[in-house]
Chains A and B, each alone.
Chain A
Amino acid sequence: MNAISSAAVADFEARYPVVFNPPVWKRFMPLIIGAGVILYILYCWWFFSIGTVLASGQWQRAELYARDWVSYAIRTTVRMSPTATTVSYPRFSELGDNPKPDWVVQAGNNVTVLFGSGQSLDINDQRVIATRGGESLTVLIEADGAKPQGTMPKWAALKEDQVTVDFGFAGQADIIPERVVVSRRFLGWANFVFDTSSPFWNKSFGEVASLMISGERIKPEMSNAALAFNNIWYNSSWQHGDVWTKLLQTIVMAFMGTLLASLVAFPFAFVAARNIMPNFFANQITKRFFDFLRSVDMLIWALFFTRAFGPGPLAGISAIFFTDTGTLGKVYSETLENIDDKQREGVKSVGASPMNVQRYGVVPQVLPVFASQALYFWESNTRSATIIGAVGAGGIGLKLWEAMRTNTNWHNVAYMVVLILAVIFIFDNISNALRSRLMGKQQH
């Protein structure tokens, strides 16, 4: 290591006082900002009483809800009796009207429910034997309640007169005197294509295809292919038709809103740009008008237009149109104020009319930027359109919000989220591709 002489150090210090001896407030700036942030977070903690809310949150539900996104549970009730043990399913079970699942094995009065990988529940009118991971628990059924024998494994719990057996993801069972309520969980989305009321339900793809191509008409008034499409479109638990229509509404809202906004903002931006319209008064009025449109929140526009047009995509289009006319107008006029004046002067010097000066001197240099901006907003409005939909401005937002508020339709939420993510992903790529063609690779 080369040691620096103290003279050299002093010399450095003298030459760069800003680096070596910054003012005190500057030296402690990071510390002050850090302290400010921590104080602010503490204040917010108190203001929103975050601690209490987080503590009183039902976090165990989070796992249940998250599980519902990708799986479904089938409930069945086994009623024990010395003469005839019966297995019954709810009326609108995912298994159709006459379920015979292979995970319920009935032999006389003995019913075995299989939970996969060695886990099972063996039920008859005297006792229930639960087996999980090598351990097993015998529960005797007596008149005054379920009586577990021996030590309780971790996965079982006794509550008053009933025993709850937990099989993890595979499901759980409540052993109540005289009946066992079983909930068996499967990965996936139940009846995603055909619901149980459809004649195509529970048929393999090959069977459905052959029915569609060469089978007898199931309903005389329409072909099998039309019937199949109809059944998918009106699937009662997934509502494909409704979801896709609402999704299309959201897309249309973003597309039309942005398109109209850019078409309207385009001429006004010329009025607002001070280098193009030398009239101070016109500049200021247009600019303040843009500011007004932009600052009245999209939410406010959405709520008002929902009053004017009734709930639906027209309200959404108008809300996006109004807000983005303001934002795009501002961006466009700023772009116009930064243009290269040489081309304009060139066109002017050969005696072109004012209209032609704009057309040939200005538009060619700003058009790619304008288009690129509009594409950018189109993409981000696809996201906004989802949210304002929830206040009634049309689109998938409201459907999504309603599905979430029921707390039981999380699989529908997952379906819609997947669709939205796919749409955003596709539009992201389209808009990026178009923008890099317009602007050159490095600009976006």
Chain B
Amino acid sequence: MSRAISTELSPDGIQIERHWQELAGRRRVYSWLISVCLLVTVAGSLWFANESNAGKFFDRLPHFFDFAGDLIPRDGWEVWRALFDLPSPYFDGSLKYDYPEGRIYLFGGLYIPEYFYKMLETLNIAILSTLIGFIFGFLLCFLAAKNLVKNKLVRWVVRRYMEILRAFPEIVIAGFFAAILSLGPIPAMFAVGIHTIGALGKLFFEVVENADMRADEGLRAVGANWFERVGFGIVPQVMPNFMSYALLRLEINVRASTIIGAVGGGGIGEELRLSISRGHQAKTLAIVLLLLVTIIAVDQFSAWLRRRLVGNQAFAFGGKQS
């Protein structure tokens, strides 16, 4: 491995060169070791995943694009009809083409198409749970910030509490409340909301800890109490960041409430799972399109608002927080 050390170097130079080569050699050994470990882990993981899967990777690979079959309707307009609940010319009494059945009438002939209604339900779950998370995270975060609460015990308790809320699997909260309230959007909301409290609370208190304390000092100097200090010294400077994080969380929660929906929380997620498992191509494609458009719209709206609130700083690092 080691190169011959040039004899033209001074004795000191030779020593330095030798040390450098030793270090480089050790580094190479470590790199190799790590690479080998990683490769073994990857190979083992893939083998294990393949073994414990219902279908084997190479057997199923030719069927990889089978899902495209779930997406090709009988004609292009079917998607349109499924999306807006218009009657289908192929209607044969089956669930596959019963688009008008799902109409939700407001008054007279005016109706909301089923999937729009379900999408609205999912969006409402996401917004409301973000709101729950924002309100409680807001109330908790000041108690966890080092610069506002000197009592170590209070901080420790609040931080661990938020950690538990964050780490507790959403699906368990949803399942627990589903057992009490029966399946539906409200258990989903609790689940996503409780997780959001923990996730936002953590981000919030980190923002508070980085806040400029000069405003707080000024307020303390004129004899303001703790609530006044927080309310007038801290909140105005952290609010844009809080809002920005809440918007980021909203993007995640839209996705999360779709997923929770699919396991029984109602909303568009459930419709999607049902329509895929029943093989209703037009309905599936309509839902996928609707979801895609909604998620892109929410993401764009939130990005626009965040840019207005905190400038480009909101995009500096990370797009996903958990």
Residues of A participating in the B interface, judged by any CB pair closer than 8 Å: 37, 40-41, 44, 47-48, 50, 53-54, 56-59, 61-62, 65, 245, 248-249, 252-253, 255-256, 259, 291-292, 295-300, 303-305, 307-315, 317, 327, 330-331, 334, 338, 369, 373, 376-377, 379-380, 383, 386-388, 390-391, 394, 397, 400-401, 404-405, 407, 413, 417, 420-421, 424-425, 428
Contact = CB atoms under 8 A, between A and B. Distances in A.
Given A387-B170, A387-B260, A304 B255 contact: no
A404 B127 CA distance: 26
Given A303-B272, A391-B263, 14 more contacts: A41-B131, A57-B181, A62-B180, A249-B49, A255-B41, A295-B296, A297-B258, A300-B291, A331-B319, A369-B317, A380-B320, A390-B263, A391-B262, A400-B169
Given A255-B45, A417-B168, A295 B259 contact: no
Given A53-B184, A314-B57, A303 B262 contact: yes
Contacts of A413: 172, 175
A317 B169 contact: no
Interface stretch (B25-33, B62-70, B150-158): B62-70
Interface of B: 41-42, 45-46, 48-50, 52-55, 57, 60, 63-67, 70, 121, 124, 127-128, 131, 167-172, 175-176, 178-182, 184-186, 189, 255-256, 258-260, 262-263, 269, 272-273, 276, 288, 291-292, 295-296, 299, 315-322
Contacts of B167: 383, 421, 424-425, 428
B124 A48 contact: yes
B273 A391 contact: yes
Contacts of B49: 249, 252-253, 256, 312-314, 317, 394
A312 B55 contact: yes
Give the residue among A47, A248, A312 with the most B Cβ atoms within 10 A. Answer: A312
Given A303-B273, A304-B276, A421-B167, A327 B64 contact: no
B272 A380 contact: no
Contact of A308 (B60, B255, B263): B60
A299 B284 CA distance: 13
Contacts of A248: 48
A387 B169 contact: yes
Nearest to B65: A308
Contacts of A59: 180
Nearest to A291: B296
A120 B285 CA distance: 64
B295 A297 contact: yes
B58 to A, nearest CB: 11
Give the residue among A297, A317, A387, A421 with the most B Cβ atoms within 10 A. Answer: A297
A299 B255 contact: yes
Given A44-B128, A249-B52, A310-B60, A303 B46 contact: no
B180 A314 contact: no
A327 B320 contact: yes
Contacts of B315: 334
Contacts of A317: 49
B175 A400 contact: yes
